[in-house]
Protein backbone atom coordinates (compact mmCIF):
# COMPACT_ATOMS: atom_id res chain seq x y z
CA UNK A 1 0.00 0.00 0.00
CA UNK A 2 2.80 2.41 0.96
CA UNK A 3 4.78 1.53 -2.21
CA UNK A 4 1.75 2.38 -4.36
CA UNK A 5 1.32 5.70 -2.55
CA UNK A 6 5.02 6.52 -3.08
CA UNK A 7 4.74 5.62 -6.78
CA UNK A 8 1.63 7.77 -7.23
CA UNK A 9 3.32 10.68 -5.43
CA UNK A 10 6.46 10.35 -7.59
CA UNK A 11 4.41 10.23 -10.78
CA UNK A 12 2.44 13.33 -9.70
CA UNK A 13 5.75 15.14 -9.05
CA UNK A 14 7.07 14.08 -12.48
CA UNK A 15 3.89 15.21 -14.24
CA UNK A 16 4.07 18.56 -12.41
CA UNK A 17 7.71 19.00 -13.48
CA UNK A 18 6.76 18.11 -17.06
CA UNK A 19 3.94 20.68 -17.04
CA UNK A 20 6.39 23.30 -15.70
CA UNK A 21 8.88 22.50 -18.50
CA UNK A 22 6.16 22.67 -21.16
CA UNK A 23 5.02 26.02 -19.74
CA UNK A 24 8.60 27.37 -19.89
CA UNK A 25 8.91 26.09 -23.46
CA UNK A 26 5.67 27.84 -24.47
CA UNK A 27 6.93 31.06 -22.85
CA UNK A 28 10.21 30.84 -24.78
CA UNK A 29 8.42 30.16 -28.07
CA UNK A 30 6.13 33.14 -27.40
CA UNK A 31 9.17 35.38 -26.77
CA UNK A 32 10.78 34.08 -29.96
CA UNK A 33 7.63 34.82 -31.98
CA UNK A 34 7.55 38.33 -30.47
CA UNK A 35 11.18 38.92 -31.46
CA UNK A 36 10.60 37.63 -35.00
CA UNK A 37 7.53 39.86 -35.31
CA UNK A 38 9.53 42.89 -34.11
CA UNK A 39 12.30 42.17 -36.61
CA UNK A 40 9.76 41.78 -39.44
CA UNK A 41 8.25 45.14 -38.47
CA UNK A 42 11.71 46.75 -38.44
CA UNK A 43 12.59 45.27 -41.83
CA UNK A 44 9.27 46.47 -43.26
CA UNK A 45 9.84 49.98 -41.88
CA UNK A 46 13.35 50.09 -43.34
CA UNK A 47 12.03 48.93 -46.74
CA UNK A 48 9.45 51.72 -46.61
CA UNK A 49 12.17 54.26 -45.72
CA UNK A 50 14.44 53.06 -48.54
CA UNK A 51 11.54 53.26 -50.99
CA UNK A 52 10.78 56.84 -49.89
CA UNK A 53 14.47 57.69 -50.27
CA UNK A 54 14.53 56.24 -53.81
CA UNK A 55 11.42 58.28 -54.69
CA UNK A 56 13.06 61.46 -53.34
CA UNK A 57 16.31 60.80 -55.24
CA UNK A 58 14.32 60.15 -58.43
CA UNK A 59 12.42 63.44 -57.99
CA UNK A 60 15.72 65.24 -57.37
CA UNK A 61 17.24 63.74 -60.54
CA UNK A 62 14.13 64.81 -62.47
CA UNK A 63 14.45 68.38 -61.15
CA UNK A 64 18.16 68.55 -61.99
CA UNK A 65 17.45 67.16 -65.47
CA UNK A 66 14.75 69.83 -66.05
CA UNK A 67 17.14 72.55 -64.92
CA UNK A 68 19.88 71.35 -67.29
CA UNK A 69 17.65 70.92 -70.36
Q: How far apart are CA 9 and CA 2, in angstroms?
A: 10
pLDDT at position 17: 98
In this prediction, residue 1 has a pLDDT band, given cuts at 50, 70 and 90, of confident
Average pLDDT on 40-65 reads 97
- Whether residue 54 has pLDDT greater than 90: yes
- Whether residue 69 has pLDDT greater than 90: no
CA dihedral of 35, 44, 46, 51, whole degrees rounded to 10: 170
Average pLDDT on 34-50 reads 98
Amino acid sequence: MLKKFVLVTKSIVLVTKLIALVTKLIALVTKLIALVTKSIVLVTKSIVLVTKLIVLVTKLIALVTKMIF
